[in-house]
Chains A and B, each alone.
Chain A
Amino acid sequence: MRKLADVILPPVTLAAMLSAIYMVFVYVPTDKVQGIVQRIFYFHVPLAIMAFVAFGTVAVASVMFLWRGTRTWDRVAHAAAEVGMLFCTLVLITGPIWARPVWGTWWTWDARLTTTLILWLIYAAYLMLRSTSGPGDQGARYAAVLGIVGAVDIPIINRSVYWWRTIHPAVLVTREGSSGLADPRMQSTLGICFLAFFLLFLWLLWVRNENMRLGDEVEALRQQALGQA
């Protein structure tokens, strides 16, 4: 597992990311309606889906932590929340940059945009809770509950374009049920971008988790050193 994550995952992720960049800027055709700015979608959509995957991981790991009480699950939840926040922040940056030339405004209180901002705020609160709670399990348990409750927003975001009248495009599946990307080259480019960001998510999750494991080790060694003094 360690060898896979430390030796194999980084170059494979880099190769997938370079392929994704090549496809976005060279291979894929320009959209006739939106023009060149539509290419933002190829990173924006996978970032959004991976943010959902990350926050879903927080919820699952939090359930496991509350059930088993092991620090390993708590670390996974905390690391996934941080990576999810990074991805969700990028979604909220790239979305308005795309919206400005297409909609004529940076932001509108559309159902999908608003529910995504709520998701960002929930996990920002989760990370603030983690950073302000002292040592011990209590803060971790409160954060775990927040991590589970926060994930309820994910299916709401997913269904928001179908439940409410919104101007946000349904990129993967249109409201009529067909693919949002008609050209097969657009579909394959989006597929490679999904793969690249999934690998990036796994790698960042692993590195951040290792980071926290080392932090725990430092704390244990400090306690040992204080005990000897």
Chain B
Amino acid sequence: MSADIDGADMTNLNFLFGAYTAVWVLLFLYILSLSRRNRSLDKEVDELRELLQRRKP
């Protein structure tokens, strides 16, 4: 594979755009779902601890 330093051939730019968009959208959605799950689990842990604390004699 040889390189063209000032290669400005923009043919197939839509394919390049499509590939990188797919990568970023999927990564973003996965990270978002992880962060949501973490937040909800954190909240649940706090609530359960509080419940157990209240029940202590």
Contact = CB atoms under 8 A, between A and B. Distances in A.
A33 B2 contact: yes
A36 B1 contact: no
Contact of A100 (B15, B49, B52, B55): B15
Given A40-B15, A207-B34, A89 B41 contact: no
Chain B binding surface SS class: helix
Contacts of B44: 218
A211 B12 contact: no
Contact of B52 (A28, A35, A181, A225): A225
Contacts, number: 121
A218 B41 contact: yes
Contacts of A39: 16
A194 B14 CA distance: 24
Given A30-B9, A36-B13, A207-B34, A94 B49 contact: no
Chain A binding surface SS class: helix
B3 A210 contact: no
A214 B23 contact: no
A33 B11 CA distance: 12
A207 B55 CA distance: 32
16 contacts: A29-B3, A30-B4, A31-B3, A36-B16, A39-B16, A44-B19, A47-B23, A93-B19, A93-B22, A97-B22, A183-B2, A186-B1, A204-B34, A207-B31, A214-B45, A222-B48
Top-3 shortest CB links A-B? A30-B7, A29-B3, A221-B48
Interface of B: 1-5, 7-13, 15-16, 18-20, 22-23, 26-27, 30-31, 34, 37-38, 41-42, 44-45, 48-49, 51-52, 55
Interface of A: 28-40, 43-44, 47, 86, 89-90, 93-94, 97-98, 100-101, 180-183, 185-186, 200, 204, 207-208, 210-211, 214-215, 217-218, 221-222, 224-225, 228
